[in-house]
Amino acid sequence: MNAAPKKRRKPAARQQPKPPSQAQSKPRRQPNRGTAAKSTRTPKYVGFVVLAIGAIVLAVIVSRGSDEAADPNVASASVEFVGTDFAFAPGALTGLAGQLEVTLVNNGPGVHNLAVLKEGIEISTFAEHTDDMNLAFIPLISPDNDASTSLDIEAGTYQVVCIIPGHLAAGMKAELVVKDSSQPADG
């Protein structure tokens, strides 16, 4: 009997292990085991949501504050000017004749002061100012502070200015309209 010769298989070539510097290790993937394997990364949209909520809260606070804020056309026994660089807000306020409290709130980054000039006096630069023009004066107020003064004042229109050199020329002035308590607010 002639048997067909058997083909011999060549033994499989063994791969030589790569040196450690060339070996590429793959991280082992951990099986998902419920909540223990969940990611702790914050989704990208969370920051946006927090920012949007903050903006809404701020808008609500500001809108409530503006409802309670004094109307500049309504005469009051106290007035409050807010100083920034280089303006007073509001640009005009209405007070009641008699004892009037004037407050300066400094919301600017620099110091400010406030002078209520006597009726009929208007200036446009620091150089024109003399102390005898003042009906009332609040000295230098540092940023994020406020100060008040009280004065006995008659009905009329008064210029309010910051008399730090350069501030008045830059536009830091306002108007104070004082009315008798018998006068209507807008007349």
Average pLDDT rounded to a whole number, residues 5-25: 59
Report the C-alpha gap between 181 and 166 in whole angstroms: 36
Q: Which of 170, 74, 73, 152 is nearest to 116 (CA)?
A: 152
Tokens of 50: 């927090």
Cα 58 from chain centroid? Answer: 10
Q: What are the pLDDT digits (tens) for 114-148?
A: 999 999 999 999 999 999 999 999 999 999 999 99
Class of CATH domain 78-179: mainly beta
Q: Are the CB atoms for 37 and 55 separated by under 8 Å?
A: no
| Phi, psi for 119 (deg, rounded to 5) | -55, 135
Q: Which of 35-44, 110-119, 132-141, 157-166 has the lowest mean pLDDT?
A: 35-44
Q: How far is CA 87 from CA 148, 162, 169, in A?
A: 18, 9, 10
* SS3 call for 184: coil
pLDDT of amino acid 56 = 72
Scored b (16 or more CB within 10 A) or e, 36-47 reads eeeeeeeeeeee
Q: What are the pLDDT digits (tens) for 69-87?
A: 455 567 889 999 999 989 9
Centre a 10 Å sphere on the Cβ of residue 34 and count the other Cβ atoms it contains: 6
Cα 37 from chain centroid? Answer: 42
Domain residues of the chain, as ranges? Answer: 78-179
Q: What is the DSSP letter of 9?
A: P
- The amino acid that residue 44 corresponds to is K
* SS3 call for 155: coil
- Is this prediction's pTM over 0.75? no
Report the C-alpha gap between 68 and 60 in whole angstroms: 13
